[in-house]
């Protein structure tokens, strides 16, 4: 049977295609007898009498979280039509738990009627306003036929990434096989990555989640069926007992006070606090506020209780450092933010060469204090120990970089290069240089030279430490902005996110530079939200969230997030540019005010100049628009073609916009991907006669 819009299949009138699945294409249709919308799945082949008999049994399932099967034809299934979106991972733990309970309940109902699903995976779960809906029970088998492991076209049933070991081996299966698949799906809901690289060789990496939820996952994913939960009713009951409130101890490490006579030693006290943050962040079971948010209170007269409240933590670590010659004195105290009492304090008088041991001792002491609430007793992560001079140079580099001025940023690069000269096997300065050159290529130096040097630095970091999340993330970013190599970017980000717990900055980079650009904006939103759980005051991450919300078709929420950014930092120029970027979502007068302010705060940003000119032109002030455009010169400067492309897009001059976009692609400006793939510019450019050529240049599919 060939389906097309307008054709009739029995009493069903085909309306439009929905998508395709493992067994065939899916179409929206109208049931002309009952006056309701349905979904029709055209099967790849004829099915047997037994299949029809079992489909009738599945049709008898009546559960709010199961997509109802209405009818069976000779080569098609008729199902409930669902308004919703496919399950996107990862999800916040509370949302994942709620959906998991619904899914478990649906499987419990099916199992009670003797029906197995056997192909449970995120693609077979739809999320609606009411919750989860399980699809493709039409692929299931009754437990009377558990020896049958093939679909109607003879292929092995199921998806290998989510199969139980016994199913993957073609052995008889029962309800415990669905329990294994359920565990694999829940793992992905919580982490955003699949549970297994190799089903038979590997165990899933431990997740940063509650002890109870972690125990449920572990039991669901046991390789032997007899070691799992023995029924989905047991799984659902266990999930309903899980509480995510206050399960995970949380801590913020404030910048340590510099008690040295030399004020220039502040880099060392800041660096020590940052390294303790990094050490704690790599321990499973502890929620650690990232540096950007924890350090945002530096120099401000804010009490501990207020800091803890804004960061959403229970404990605060503060301390001081006195450095004199080759001797250091470090004091540290852990404070309960609720009552202000000191839980633990210690003083360390050491030689400078012992600084790495001091960091580990402080982290270990905190673990000892909190371990009663940890799922396991974690070990402080072993890391490469550079020589002290190189380490000091690296700390100076981080200190200058975080000042976020052009001059200090350049000082940071010099310090990273010094660290590398002092210890060429120290990977972190190379990764920091990869970041530096990526940012410097936006106006501080020649873009081509910056890209070459940045990629070389990331490659060197990877060569020294192939497991480095930072090195893999930056290689993934350069794969996007330089080569438009989406497969390589996906591979690199998979490696960067493989180590648990995942650093919040890596979630942000994954969402910003990959997920939203490949049409997975909803997943990017969740990545940014998870990153912000650990770094709630990070303005750049909030920018990423706002852009992903816009790309996901949620402009109102995107603008709310942009307003939140300016509430946190009124002089953050990119926040104003962000609000003007989608001129269709804000009133013209507001868009103009935002564009003016954003350009005034970042006059070196050439794309924002094109934005201001475009907003002026849309408001009718063409003469001033062309005055502003003069700052883009002849369009040769890096970023100028993007500025012209934005201007012509806002003027609805699609062909001119596409012509400039082609030049921007040749320049490989990092905004190219955003403009080509994000609203409102992407849809405009797709209407151009140049779109096929632009698409080919960027190696886009579809």
579 neighbors 590 (Cβ within 8 angstroms): yes
Cα-trace Rg, the chain: 28
Q: What is the largest CA-CA distance in the chain?
A: 89
Beta strands in 482-551 (DSSP E): none
Sign of CA dihedral 146, 150, 151, 157: positive
CA-based angle 157:163:164, to the nearest 5? 120
Q: How far is CA 53 from the centre of its chain?
A: 44
**11-29: b (≥16 Cβ within 10 Å) or e:** ebebbeebeebbbbbbbeb
Residue 252 sits at φ, ψ, to 5 deg, of -120, 135
Helix (H, G, I), strand (E, B) or coil at 3: coil
What are the CA-CA distances from residue 333 to residues 336, 346, 378, 490 (Å)? 10, 7, 21, 42
Measured distance CA(552)–CA(565) in Å, rounded: 19
The pairing of strands 287-288 and 250-253 is: parallel
Give, as one character, the DSSP assignment of residue 150. B
The DSSP result for 236-266, as a single string, is HHHHHT---TT-S-EEEEPPPEE-SS-GGGH
Sign of CA dihedral 654, 657, 663, 669: negative
Q: In sequence order, what are the residues at sequence separation of 6 or more whose Cβ sits closer than 8 angstroms to the Cβ of residue 101?
A: 236, 239, 240
Measured distance CA(335)–CA(343) in Å, rounded: 6
CA-based angle 444:445:449, to the nearest 5? 145
Q: Which of 25, 71, 75, 119 is catalytic?
A: 119
The alpha-helical segments, DSSP class H, found in 582-670 are: 588-601, 606-618, 622-629, 640-650, 654-667
Q: Strand pairing partners for 24? A: 21
Measured distance CA(280)–CA(302) in Å, rounded: 24
What are the CA-CA distances from residue 115 to residues 22, 54, 61 (Å)? 19, 9, 9
Measured distance CA(476)–CA(485) in Å, rounded: 9
Instruction: Tell me if residue 119 is catalytic.
Output: yes
Residue 560 sits at φ, ψ, to 5 deg, of -60, -40
What are the CA-CA distances from residue 8 to residues 3, 35, 70, 512 (Å)? 8, 14, 17, 44
Residues tagged active-site: 119
């Amino acid at each position: 049977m060939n389906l097309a819009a307008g054709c009739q299949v029995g009493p069903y009138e085909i309306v439009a295609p929905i998508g395709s699945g493992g067994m065939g294409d899916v179409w929206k249709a109208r049931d002309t007898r009952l006056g309701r919308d349905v979904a029709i799945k055209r099967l790849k082949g004829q099915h047997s009498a037994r299949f029809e008999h079992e489909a009738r049994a599945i049709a008898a399932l009546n559960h709010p979280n199961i997509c109802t099967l209405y009818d069976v034809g000779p080569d098609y299934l008729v199902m409930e039509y669902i308004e919703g979106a496919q399950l996107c991972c990862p999800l916040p733990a509370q949302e994942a738990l709620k959906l998991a309970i619904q899914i478990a309940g649906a499987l419990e109902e099916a199992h009670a009627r003797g029906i197995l699903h056997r192909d449970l995976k995120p693609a077979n779960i739809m999320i609606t306003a009411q919750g989860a809906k399980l699809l493709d029970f039409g692929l299931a088998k009754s437990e009377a036929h558990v020896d049958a492991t093939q679909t109607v076209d003879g292929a092995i049933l199921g998806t290998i990434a989510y199969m139980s070991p016994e199913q993957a081996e073609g052995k008889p299966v029962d309800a415990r096989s669905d329990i294994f698949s359920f565990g694999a799906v829940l793992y992905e809901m919580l982490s955003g990555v699949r549970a297994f690289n190799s089903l038979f060789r590997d165990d899933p990496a431990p997740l940063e989640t509650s002890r109870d939820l972690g125990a449920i996952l572990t039991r669901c994913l046991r390789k032997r069926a007899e070691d799992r939960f023995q029924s989905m009713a047991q799984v659902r009951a266990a999930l309903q007992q899980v509480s995510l409130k206050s399960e995970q101890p949380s801590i913020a490490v404030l910048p340590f006070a510099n008690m040295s006579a030399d004020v220039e030693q502040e880099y060392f006290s800041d660096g020590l606090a940052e390294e303790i943050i990094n050490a704690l962040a790599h321990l499973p079971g502890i929620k650690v506020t990232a540096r950007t948010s924890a350090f945002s209170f530096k120099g401000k007269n804010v009490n501990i209780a207020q800091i803890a409240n804004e960061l959403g933590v229970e404990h605060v670590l503060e301390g001081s450092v006195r450095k004199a010659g080759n001797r250091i004195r470090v004091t540290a105290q852990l404070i309960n933010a609720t009552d202000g009492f000191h839980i633990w304090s210690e003083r360390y008088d050491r030689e400078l060469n012992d600084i790495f041991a001091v960091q580990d001792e402080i982290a270990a002491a905190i673990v000892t204090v909190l371990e009663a609430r940890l799922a396991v007793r974690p070990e402080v992560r072993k890391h490469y120990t550079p020589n002290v001079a190189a380490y000091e140079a690296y700390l100076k580099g981080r200190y200058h970089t975080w000042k976020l001025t052009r001059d200090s940023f350049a000082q940071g690069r010099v310090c990273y290069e010094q660290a590398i000269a002092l210890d060429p096997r120290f990977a972190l300065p190379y990764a920091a240089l990869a970041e530096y050159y990526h940012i410097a290529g936006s106006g501080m130096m020649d873009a081509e030279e910056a890209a070459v040097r940045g990629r070389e630095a990331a490659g060197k970091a990877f060569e020294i430490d192939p497991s480095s999340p930072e090195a893999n993330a930056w290689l993934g970013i350069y794969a996007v902005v330089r080569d438009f190599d989406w497969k390589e970017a996906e591979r690199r980000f998979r490696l960067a996110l493989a180590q648990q717990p995942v650093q919040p900055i890596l979630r942000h980079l994954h969402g910003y530079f990959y997920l939203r650009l490949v049409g997975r904006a909803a997943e990017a939103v969740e990545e940014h939200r998870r990153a912000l759980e650990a770094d709630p005051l990070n303005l750049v991450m909030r920018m990423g969230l706002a852009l992903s919300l816009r790309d996901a078709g949620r402009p109102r929420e995107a603008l709310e997030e942009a307003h939140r950014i300016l509430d946190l930092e009124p002089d953050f120029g990119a926040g104003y540019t962000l609000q003007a970027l989608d001129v269709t979502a804000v009133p013209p007068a507001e868009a103009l005010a935002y564009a003016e302010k954003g350009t005034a705060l970042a006059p070196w940003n050439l794309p924002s100049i094109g934005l201001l000119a475009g907003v002026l032109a849309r408001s009718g002030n063409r003469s001033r628009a062309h005055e502003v455009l003069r700052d883009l010169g002849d369009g040769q400067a890096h970023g100028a073609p993007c500025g012209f492309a934005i201007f012509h897009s806002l003027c609805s001059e699609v062909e001119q916009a596409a012509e400039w976009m082609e030049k921007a692609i040749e320049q490989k400006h990092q905004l190219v991907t955003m403009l080509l793939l994000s609203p409102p510019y992407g849809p405009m450019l797709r209407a151009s006669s140049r779109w096929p050529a632009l698409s080919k240049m960027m190696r886009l599919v579809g």
